[in-house]
Structures are given as C-alpha cells and as structure tokens.
Amino acid sequence: MTASRNLRIAVLGVGMMGADHVTRITSTISGARVAVVNDYVVEKAARLAATIPGCRVVEDPLDAIADPDVDAVLLATPGPAHEKQLLACLEHGKPVMCEKPLTTDVATSLEVVAREAELGTKLIQVGFMRRFDPEYRQLAALLHSGQLGRPLLLHCIHRNVSVPPHFDSAMIVKDSLVHEVDVTRFLLNEEISSVQIITPRPNPRAPEGLRDPQIALFTTTSGMHVDVEVFVTTGVAYEVRTEVVGESGSAMIGLDVGLIRTSTPGIRSGRITRTFTERFGQAYDIEIQRWVDAVRSGFRTGNYIDGPDAWDGYAAAAVCAAGVESLETGERVTVEMVQRSSIRSPDDR
C-alpha cells in the first residue's frame, strides 16, 4: 500500500465489541477505514455496512481474510472461531488484531504461537487494551524508572456493575480475570507460575450458582505475590484499581477516574464509571491507532504489531486454564507453559 492510502480493514464479528471497533475506525482513527465486515448473522453485518461509505459484506470470514482488497484484519468473532481465522491470517500474511482470547484453550494457543514463529514475522497482536491506558502506562513508566525499587506485591481490584445472564464462574476467570493476568505480566515483567482461586460467600445478588466475588492469588517466577478481587455483580461501578508495592515505595492507579467533586447537602460525591467503554475508551482508541500505524509502516519495515503479541495471548490462556482448575479444586495450581525459548521466534534468528 502507499503511504497516503487508508488501510483497508476487515472486521470479523460485529457484536458489541466489533461494532464498537467499526465505529472507532470509521470516526476516530486516522489512516484506516473499514473495507469489509463479516458476521455469523449476515443481516447484522449488512445493516452495519450500509452505514459505512465504501464498506461491503463478505459472508465467509476466510474469504474476507483472503480478500486482496483487505490489508489487515480485526478479529472480534467468538473465541472458538479464532484458531482457524488466525491461522488463515498467518497463511495469507495478513496482520491481525485479535480480541482476547487468542484461542479458547492452551494447546491451540500454543499452536498459533508456533505457526507464527515458523513464519518469521509477527502478524498477530492481541487486544489487551489496558497496556495503552494512560494511567497504566504512567504506572509502568514509574516502575521502570526504578523509583519504587523492584516490585514485591501487586493488589488488583476488578469490579463490574453486572454481567450477562449466561455468565458462569469460569467466565469470571477467562473473561474478567484475564485482564489482570495480562496487567500482572505487563507490569511485573515476569510469568505467573501458580494460581489459586478463592470463592468466599457469594453475593446474594449474583445469579444462582455464580461464584462471585472471587479472589485470585498469583505467584510469579521470582516469588512476587499478586492478589485480585474480581467482583462482577456489584451493582455499583466499573472499578479497576491497581496498586504495586515495591521495595522503596508504592503506587496506585484507578481510584478517582472520572470524578468531579460535587458537594450537595451532607455529601461530597462524584459520578463513577459504569462501563468499561467509559473507563477504557481512550485506551481502545490509542490501541487501534497505534496498531493501524504499525501495520501501515509494517509493509515497509516488516514489523506489523505494536503491543501484546501471540505469546502474551498464550501465556494468558495458560494462566486462566490453571485458574479454572483451581476454581474447581480450591487448591493452588501450577501454570503449565512451555519455555519461551523453545519457540523458534522470528526475533531469535
């Protein structure tokens, strides 16, 4: 592609997340447009395409990936479809932004990692948007500055107002806790070696059978401790808070996001965020803009990603698998992962 032409993106899956990305690419992102949309429900894709200038529907996701007028792919399909679609992207050399999860199990995630490694080019970026959130980036920068010394502990809070009716206890691990898994790996710059899930007395407001809240405990390879409260039926707010405790000091983010200080009779208050799009909207914008920029320059430089890669998706899958096992047993479970060095990564040649 030429430098001045807009990147032509195929968005596969236009549920809430995918549709949000279509709007983002169309209205907010510089240098890209949605050229193709695809969804299992064809009518949904068609309705959306009709509102986007120059956008058409391709009914088969693999055709969309192979389409010569598609420069890059954004994968927002359900998890079970990811493996096949990612492998198709690799086959056709198409850069792809894959919403989490990479795939739905550890073995297929590793397979995707290995296939990309054989290719010698990183084409897959995984959609852990928090890495682009200004607060998380400031916290990461502070850690890297050494001002807090090496980290010893990490405390995470992850609260949602509510979850869809079909949400089950394992999904709390795979869909909610997974973000804290990535935050841990990103901030501490180590792998997670074991996981334990504790399920206290459940919230009576949670749907029957849902173990909510959950407390997750991680140990990292060097022996740091991480605890996470995941509580997805608070009825209160979307509240994501992270405190890192280092050898020389501590730092916290996420306490006051979006607050006006209002004083009304007897209370001082502030509206708090209710949705993840409100809390992380800016992070998504930055994530997608930087990915588009990376892909555009990638056709020249050979580097198509600017963020978490397939390995990060594999590692998250391995930790979550251990988490789901612990959810059943209540015991601490060791995370089973291959050594990164065992993967013939393009970087290693």
Residues 132-191 that bind its own copies (CB under 8 A): 135, 138-139, 142, 147-148, 152-153, 155, 161
Contact indicator for 48, 37 with CB cutoff of 8 Å: yes
Q: Binding residues for its own copies, how many (CB under 8 A)?
A: 75
DSSP label at 174? I
Window contacting its own copies (CB under 8 A); options: 1-9, 81-89, 117-125, 170-178: 1-9
256 binds its own copies (CB under 8 A): yes
Question: Which segment (12-20, 70-78, 116-124, 253-261) binds its own copies by CB under 8 A?
Answer: 253-261
Question: Does residue number 53 form part of the binding site for its own copies (CB under 8 A)?
Answer: yes
The strands making up 96-98's β-sheet, listed across from edge to edge, are 56-57, 32-38, 7-12, 72-75, 96-98, 124-126
Q: Which of 46, 62, 66, 251 binds its own copies (CB under 8 A)?
A: 251
Establish if 269 lies at the interface with its own copies (CB under 8 A): yes
**338: phi > 0 → left, psi -120 to 50 → alpha, else beta; which?**
beta
Which CB sits closer to its own copies, 30 or 334? Answer: 30
Mark residues 213-242: x for contact with its own copies by CB under 8 A, - for none: x-x-x-x--xxxx-x-x-x--xxxx-x---
Q: How many C-beta neighbours within 10 Å does residue 346 have?
A: 15
* Window 23-52: contact mask with its own copies (x via CB under 8 A): --xxxxxxx-x-------------------
**Does residue number 334 form part of the binding site for its own copies (CB under 8 A)?**
no
Lookup result for tokens 């010893």: 152
- CB closer to its own copies, 260 vs 349: 260
Tell the residue number behind the tokens 């983002």, with chain if given. 24
Closer CB to its own copies, residue 97 or residue 110? Answer: 97
Bridge partners (DSSP) of residue 309 are 125
DSSP line for 187-218: HH-S-EEEEEEE--SPPTTS-TT---SEEEEE
The residue within the footprint of its own copies, chosen from 80, 93, 120, 200 (CB under 8 A), is: 200
Confirm or reject binding of residue 301 to its own copies (CB under 8 A): no
Q: How far is the CB of 115 from its own copies (least distance, A)?
A: 33
Can residue 266 be called a binding residue for its own copies (CB under 8 A)? yes
**Residue pair 27/1 in contact by the 8 Å Cβ criterion:** no
What residues numbered 68-107 form the site for its own copies, per CB under 8 A? Answer: none
Q: Which long-range contacts (CB under 8 A, 24 or more apart) does 57-63 make?
A: 58/10, 61/12, 61/85, 61/88, 62/88
**Residue 4 touching its own copies (CB under 8 A):** yes
Structure letter (DSSP) for residue 330:
-
